[in-house]
């Protein structure tokens, strides 16, 4: 009788494109799911690198070099999942590696369709995905435009964090925008402004099917900018989930997505017409996949995305009755310097779920013009919308932030 020697099945390998602070949850969930983790980051001391079984020091944008480095490892034959919790070029790298390792994501030849807003809007229009009307303009062609219906939104064709996104009220505002955005050869997207509320729809695509995980209401700073200040879940528009799922599936089909997280930014008019402003095959920020969604629904968004991409046992999200409301409240300030702040981090509180200051005493602050100008965040819960928001405001007050105002140029001359 011949006995066969059974070999232990090699553990599946997860490749994390990026290992910064925002990647920690993704790496941790991959490890919990039984993956060996290969971390890729230009910084060998990045926080997530310490959790990885193998480290590749390389810029997350250099996808060809990363592929070569992966081929040199002994674990490359069992790479079954590649993801990034970052945005843009890092996601592009994940899609490149996905094709090389036969892992279904967004086709590599389609990922730029998301990164470049001009192409994304063209795909929306061709696929009859509801989206605001738009034009592509530059410093020369905008002067030839006539009959514009203001207000309008102007934004760069490539970018994130709401940088250089502004609401323009008239021709003079358009002139000022272009005078402050050099070089003049740059092109911009000029978009119809849709009056109404804004929501974020977070979903997962699995085997080409879009699954909606949650909807949150978004409150932004006052014009001219669109800085995220508050996210609230459940959304008061949850009753529109079927329409939102339909749009999510249209985007999935139009961009040929097989498996991926998918975040949609939508506006809702007074008549409850939906318009998709942007969509990205990313986890999204604002602590939505990490904290807000699992806290409110119990659904592990990050783990299930890993399952969807790796071929694991994927569990679709289920619409659930709301037992509580979760609020993500960002802290902003004026131009100046933080004179004092009481930051106890994650202090124990019944209603405080998470709290973090992005800036400390002595740091320079700015009037919020991009998401990067926010100085901190608190995440709170409550029995209802009003209570959760009130709890967030109380937590902000507890930090006792004092900002010393920056003197204007005139004040400095007179000093």
Residue 260 tokens, joined: 């991926």
pLDDT range class, residue 315, cuts 50, 70, 90: very high
Residue 349 tokens, joined: 């509180």
Burial of 66 per CB tally in 10 Å (0-12, 13-18, 19+): buried
Domain boundary among 150, 173, 192: 192
Where is average pLDDT lowest: 134-148, 158-172, 268-282, 360-374?
Answer: 134-148
Residue 111 inside a domain? The answer is no
Query: What pLDDT is attached to residue 1?
Result: 31
Closest CA to 30 of 257, 298, 236, 305: 305
Domain boundary among 62, 83, 103: 103
What are the start-end ranges of the E strands in 221-253? 228-233
How confident is the prediction for the chain on average, in pLDDT?
A: 88
87 pLDDT more than 60: yes
Query: What pLDDT is attached to residue 2?
Result: 36
Question: For the domain that residue 174 is a member of, what is the CATH number?
Answer: 3.30.1490.20
Write out pLDDT tens, residues 118-135. 999 999 999 999 999 988
The domain total for the chain is 3
Residue 220 inside a domain? The answer is yes
Domain hosting 203: range is 197-403
Same domain, 250 and 391: yes
* 91 within 8 A of 84, measured Cβ to Cβ: yes
**Strand duo 13-17 + 36-41: pairing:** parallel
Domain boundary among 166, 192, 218: 192
pLDDT range class, residue 183, cuts 50, 70, 90: low
According to DSSP H, which parts of 284-384 are helical?
293-297, 301-310
């Amino acid at each position: 009788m011949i006995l066969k020697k059974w070999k232990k099945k090699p553990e599946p390998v997860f490749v994390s494109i990026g290992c910064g602070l925002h990647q920690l949850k993704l790496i941790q969930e991959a490890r919990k799911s039984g993956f060996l983790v290969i971390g890729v980051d230009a910084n060998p001391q990045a926080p997530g690198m310490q959790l990885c079984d193998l480290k590749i020091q390389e810029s997350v944008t250099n996808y060809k070099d990363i592929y070569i480095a992966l081929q040199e490892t002994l674990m490359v034959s069992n790479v079954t999942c590649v993801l990034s919790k970052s945005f843009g070029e890092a996601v592009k790298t994940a899609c490149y590696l996905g094709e090389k390792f036969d892992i279904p994501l967004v086709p590599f030849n389609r990922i730029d369709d998301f990164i470049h807003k001009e192409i994304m809007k063209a795909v929306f229009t061709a696929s009859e995905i509801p989206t605001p009307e738009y034009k592509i303009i530059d410093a020369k062609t905008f002067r030839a435009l006539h009959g514009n219906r203001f207000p309008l939104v102007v934004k760069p064709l490539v970018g994130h964090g709401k940088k250089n996104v502004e609401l323009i009220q008239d021709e003079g505002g358009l002139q000022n925008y272009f005078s402050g955005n050099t070089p003049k050869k740059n092109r911009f997207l000029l978009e119809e402004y849709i009056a109404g509320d804004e929501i974020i729809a977070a979903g997962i695509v699995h085997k080409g099917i879009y699954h909606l995980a949650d909807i949150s209401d978004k409150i932004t700073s006052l014009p001219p900018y669109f800085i995220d200040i508050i996210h609230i879940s459940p959304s008061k528009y949850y009753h529109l989930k079927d329409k939102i799922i339909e749009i999510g599936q249209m985007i999935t089909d139009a961009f040929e997505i097989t498996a991926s997280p998918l975040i949609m930014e939508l506006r809702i008019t007074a008549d409850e017409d939906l318009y998709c402003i942007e969509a990205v095959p990313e986890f999204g920020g604002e602590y939505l996949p990490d904290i807000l969604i699992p806290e409110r629904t119990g659904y592990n968004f990050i783990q299930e995305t890993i399952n969807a991409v790796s071929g694991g046992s994927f569990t679709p999200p289920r619409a659930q009755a709301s037992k509580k409301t979760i609020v993500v409240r960002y802290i902003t300030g004026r131009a100046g310097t933080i004179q004092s702040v009481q930051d106890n981090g994650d202090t124990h509180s019944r209603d405080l779920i998470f709290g973090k200051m992005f800036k400390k005493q002595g740091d320079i602050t700015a009037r919020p013009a991009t998401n990067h100008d926010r100085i901190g965040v608190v995440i709170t819960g409550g029995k209802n919308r009003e209570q959760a928001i009130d709890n967030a405001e109380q937590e902000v007050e507890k930090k006792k932030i004092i900002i010393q105002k920056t003197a204007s140029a005139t004040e400095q001359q007179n000093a």
